[in-house]
Structure 1
Amino acid sequence: MSFQGKVAVITGGSSGIGKAVAIELVKQGAAVVINGRREQALIEAAKEMDPTGERVAYVAGDISDPKLAERIIAEGLSRFGRIDTLVNNAGIFVAKPFTDYTAEDFESVMSTNVAGFFHITQRALTEMTKVGSGHIVTITASGVAEQPIKAVPAMLAAISKGGLTAATKSLAIEYADKGIRVNAVAPGVIKTPMHPVETHEFLDKLHPMGRMGEVQDVVNAILYLESAPFVTGEILHVDGGQSAGQW
């Protein structure tokens, strides 16, 4: 499938998985709108993706703000004329015993993982419905959300990312006859700068395959879903076997 001329919106696009997805899509001919909280990081990422600035736009701000969601979609339409794909990548992960979570933890995780997803997806789907085509891909979570791990208590990830898994299937059915596909990628622990090197040995052991995933593993999964027109409602696990069961 050719990505030439396609337009993708990517949240959490200044680093890690989101940045890697944006780089690959631009490399393959797409234009992207990236979002993140840190404007300077977005500027630097955009220059790395396309020094000319012709195929990359950025909008800084908190994705949980509905007004920001409107700005992001408006930027994609004004700069590139269309929205073909939305990659819901922005997310927060806080691991604690359940009774140690604070009200602030709950608000922070739910506002980004759930409210952020809701606002930008609703606005993207509004535009996609007008033209009868589009694709939503959401990054959920495998181990802590679907196959809880005793060593990593993370109920807030389960309730938020697990909810996105259910939402993916619900929206896939709702929009299947409107030319719009809705899928998700459920990764295990992916090797990004957010995981200090000293934690890698522990994190490797959280996967039956004995290692963390690489960012490119998730990028490849998204590229597959982008190029699979008969796939919708799919939760594609890229988790080194975590979702297969107890090990």
Structure 2
Amino acid sequence: MKTKTAIITGASTGIGKSITKLFLEKGYNVVINSANANNLKNAQKDLGHEEHLVPIAGDISDISVGQQLIGTAVKHFGSADVLINNAGVFEPKPFLEIDEKDLDRFLDINLKGTFFTSQAAIRQMLTQDGGAIINIGTVLVDHAIDGFPATAPISSKGGIHALTKQLAAEFGRNNIRINTIAPGIIRSPLQSKIGVADADNLAGLHLLNRIGETQDVAELALYLAESNFVTGETINLDGGHVAGHRIS
């Protein structure tokens, strides 16, 4: 069997880096991306697997970056079999304080980046035997929390959830499968970036009374990459966050 190639955006830290590590361990070739060139260089060094790993720095909101990622995958490894749209930004801010610049930032990176990188990937996948696209959304699209005002980023993630179903419908006949992972609270650098000093204090939001790990996301991403009969789904990876509530 030929070695498959995955393209992973936002791969220098946190969830993206864990996904990359697992895919490399499972024998994939991987093209990784980050807007932060220094973080990407450090991740490349940490991950190893030099012959199977190619880094491309760039802001995914720039359409040409997504095109470059797919082109690099084909040039170096001969195919683009899996795209994982992990790159994104998230920041809580009250709705009435959001200005146009704020909204544009979330839409450009989260939604536009996912949209046009997927477009570039699908163009290539149509010349192959299909492929898989895995988007990263959030459970907050379907389960809002009072006291955590994040209307702008959640709106952009809601667009990703909708995009998933539409692309699955349009390209299912071409054996291109599109799914979204909607994480709950995951232990990653994102938590400190948005002002959460101790993410474990949020464990009570989940029925399992613990937060998730980046490895949990990586394992689900690998399953969706290799399953040939799942498409159009948004899968909550949330320890029961959406399923119900804890009384105490």
Taking structure 1 as the reference length, what is the TM-score of the superposition?
0.93
Q: What residue is the counterpart of 1:214 in the other structure? A: 213
Find the counterpart in structure 2 of residue 189 from structure 1. 185
Partner SS state of residue 195, structure 1: helix
Q: What are the equivalent positions in structure 2 for 1:17-36 lying under 5 Å apart? A: 17-36=15-34
Residues in 2 aligned to 1:116 and 1:76: alpha-carbon distance in whole angstroms: 18
For 1:84 and 1:198, how far apart are their aligned partners in 2?
38
1:208 and 1:96 map into 2 onto residues whose CA distance is 26
Q: Is the 8 A contact 1:221 1:236 kept in 2?
A: no
Determine if contact 2:200/2:211 at 8 Å carries over to the other structure.
no
Equivalence for 2:111: 114
CA deviations on 1:81-121 (whole Å, 9 max, x unpaired) are 10000000011112122101122211111110011011110
Aligned residue type for 1:204: A
Corresponding position of 1:232: 231
Distance in 2 between residues matched to 1:174 and 1:132, nearest whole Å: 16
What CA distance in whole angstroms lies between the structure 1 residues aligned with 2:163 and 2:243?
22
Contact 1:86 / 1:135 at 8 angstroms: preserved in 2?
yes
Which amino acid in structure 1 is aligned with residue 11 of structure 2? G
Measured on the aligned residues, the alpha-carbon RMSD in Å equals: 1.6
Decide which moves more: 65-74 or 9-18.
65-74
Judge conservation of contact 1:94–1:105 (CA < 8 Å) in 2: no
1:204 shift after superposition: 2.0
- Name the CA distance, whole Å, in 1 between partners of 2:189 and 2:216: 16
Alignment partners' CA distance in 1, 2:117 and 2:197: 35
- The alignment partner of 1:243 has SS state of coil
How far residue 219 of structure 1 moved from its aligned partner, in angstroms, is 0.9
The structure 2 residue matched to 1:161, chosen from 157, 162, 166, is 157
Partner AA of 2:41 in structure 1: I
Question: How far is the alpha carbon of 1:165 from its aligned partner?
Answer: 0.8
User: In structure 2, the residue corresponding to 1:99 is in which secondary structure?
Assistant: helix
- Aligned equivalents of 1:228 and 1:28: distance in 2? 15
Give the superposition deviation at 1:149. 0.7
What does residue range 1-247 of structure 1 map to in structure 2 within 5 Å?
5-51=3-49, 53-142=50-139, 144-196=140-192, 198-245=197-244, 247=246
Q: C-alpha distance in 2, partners of 1:88/1:20?
A: 14
| Higher relative contact order, chain-length normalized (CA < 8 Å, sep 6+) | 2
Give aligned-pair identity as a percent: 38
TM-score, normalisation: structure 2? 0.93
Deviations 1:214-242 (A, max 9, x none): 11111111122122211111111101112
Partners in 1 of 2:20 and 2:101 — Cα distance? 31
Shift, 1:146, TM fit: 1.0
How many residues in Structure 1 have an aligned counterpart in Structure 2? Answer: 243
Structure 1: give runs of 5+ residues left out of the alignment. none
> Contact between 2:13 and 2:43, CA under 8 Å: does it hold in 1?
yes
Aligned residue identity for 2:185 = V
